Amino acid sequence: MGEYLALILRKGFKKATEKKGISTVEIAIIIAVLVGIALIFRGAIMTFVNDIIAHMFPATSQFNNSQS
């Protein structure tokens, strides 16, 4: 009987410690890391986006360059 009880307790403990999904704290940490990376590489990101916009809309980039 003792072995049976120990087996049930082990299975119950194993199920209790299994986690499925992501908790709110983990999501908050992921968002904080992404915001930190975006702030660190802000200049490179802005340059990259401006280059893409300049290639997609050349008339807009010429308009912006003539104003400065």
> Which pLDDT score, from 0 to 100, does residue 15 have?
61
pLDDT tens column, 14-67: 665 666 667 888 889 999 999 999 999 999 999 998 899 888 887 765 555 555
pLDDT at residue 2 greater than cutoff 90: no
56/49 Cα distance (integer angstroms): 11
The CA-atom distances, in angstroms, between 37 and each of 4, 27, 30, 53, 68 are: 52, 15, 11, 22, 30
> Which pLDDT score, from 0 to 100, does residue 65 have?
56
